[in-house]
Amino acid sequence: MRPAASVLLLTTLTGFAYGLLTWLGLYVAAGAPPAARLLVLAGVGVSVILATLGLIASTLHLGRKERAWRAFSQWRSSWLSREGLAAVLTYPIALAFAWAQYRAPGSPAARSLGVVAALASLGTVYCTAMIYASLKPIRQWHNRHTAPDYLIYALFSGATLFALLHTLAFGTAALAASLAALGAFGALIAKLAYWRHVDAQSPIATLASAIGLPEGTPARPLDAPHFTENFILREMGFQIARRHAAKLRRIALVVGFALPLLFSLLAQLGTFPLASSSLAVACAALGLLTERWLFFAQATHVSALYYGRTV
């Protein structure tokens, strides 16, 4: 599948945004100190800005941007519609939560709104993940890893951001950095498990089945319908060299997960906490963008069978 910049930015930025909002909500629900009033306010601000940037990025790939509002209508059947609706509903929840926590820190209203904000955030990320997980023709997406993985990456990236904000507010990253380190470790394991799973999958279907011949009939392409590329090949037939992919996987593992784990641990131990937690965020962002690029580039689509590819 062609890795479109708009979708990579959308899923990565909203991962940070909703991950951060989840942690802020849980932080307040668990009894954040009154001194954290501004931290929560600023955190919700950062989350809202990142989510908005991500959602704007997502509209860039639309053929008819001016009609984007129509995407809220089909929530009964479409995960994309549900994602849009969940993202929009999360705005007033986030703002109400920030306002309640600012006006009356630690009040029951603020605490319960914190839980609601966390649930709305995770719900939005889940909807995003299900857009991919529900697509049967793409075996690398339509599996039991996709939805939990998106939630894990959001919680991980949000925790690195939470640790950075906590360091900016109080000079130490404390518990937040432990969460980020734990998140990085969880994300690393999840990514390795995902690659292990997709690498061991067998092809979804054969060319014989795609052209209606009995299973096992040998078939190979003789003539393609056209000499040049077309939409199907550009969008669904994206290919990446195996060696190139292996290199990018190593980069994603080291930059996206191992380095943030290291920097979060350093921040937790109080070693240059500001620099460490900043580096953890920067590495997580770069690594997750790489990981997301691979999630698309290495995904194969059944329709490419007709052009002689293995899927």
From the CB of 74, what's the least distance to another protein, in Å?
A: 5
From the CB of 6, what's the least distance to another protein, in Å?
A: 10
Q: Which is nearer to another protein, 199 or 229 (CB)?
A: 229
- Using CB under 8 A as the binding rule, whether residue 207 contacts another protein is answered as yes
Burial class (CB in 10 A: 0-12, 13-18, 19+), 66: exposed
Give the footprint of another protein on residues 71-90 (CB under 8 A).
71-74, 76-81, 84
From the CB of 215, what's the least distance to another protein, in Å?
A: 9
Q: Which is nearer to another protein, 20 or 207 (CB)?
A: 207
Which whole-number Å values give the CA distances from 247 to 2, 37, 113, 251, 254, in the listed order?
A: 19, 44, 44, 6, 11
- Using CB under 8 A as the binding rule, whether residue 243 contacts another protein is answered as no
Report whether 47 contacts 17 (CB < 8 A): yes
- Using CB under 8 A as the binding rule, whether residue 306 contacts another protein is answered as yes
Retrieve residue 1's tokens: 């599948």
Number of residues counted as binding another protein (CB under 8 A): 59
Report whether 146 contacts 122 (CB < 8 A): no
- Using CB under 8 A as the binding rule, whether residue 297 contacts another protein is answered as no
- Using CB under 8 A as the binding rule, whether residue 213 contacts another protein is answered as yes
Of 299, 57, 38, 288, nearest to 155 by C-alpha is 288
Which whole-number Å values give the CA distances from 24 to 21, 54, 106, in the listed order?
A: 5, 19, 12
Which whole-number Å values give the CA distances from 61 to 65, 110, 167, in the listed order?
A: 8, 37, 36
Among 44, 86, 98, 135, binds another protein (CB under 8 A): 135
From the CB of 213, what's the least distance to another protein, in Å?
A: 6
Q: Which is nearer to another protein, 282 or 297 (CB)?
A: 297
From the CB of 283, what's the least distance to another protein, in Å?
A: 30
Query: Please, what's the b/e burial string for 88-109 (b: 16 or more CB within 10 A of its CB; e: otherwise)?
Result: eebeebbebbbebbeeebbeee
- Using CB under 8 A as the binding rule, whether residue 242 contacts another protein is answered as no
Among 34, 220, 241, 243, binds another protein (CB under 8 A): 220
Give the footprint of another protein on residues 136-165 (CB under 8 A).
136-138
Which whole-number Å values give the CA distances from 49 to 54, 80, 300, in the listed order?
A: 9, 21, 33
| Site track 112-131 with another protein (rule: CB under 8 A), x = hit | -------------------x
Residue 214: how many CA atoms within 13 Å on its side-chain side?
Answer: 1
- Using CB under 8 A as the binding rule, whether residue 217 contacts another protein is answered as yes
Q: Which is nearer to another protein, 104 or 224 (CB)?
A: 224
Residue 225: φ, ψ to 5°: -70, -20
State the Cα–Cα distance between residues 161 and 249, nearest whole angstrom.
23
Give the footprint of another protein on residues 6-65 (CB under 8 A).
61-65
Residues that bind another protein (CB under 8 A): 1, 61-65, 67-68, 70-74, 76-81, 84, 131, 134-138, 204-205, 207-214, 217-232, 235-236, 301-304, 306
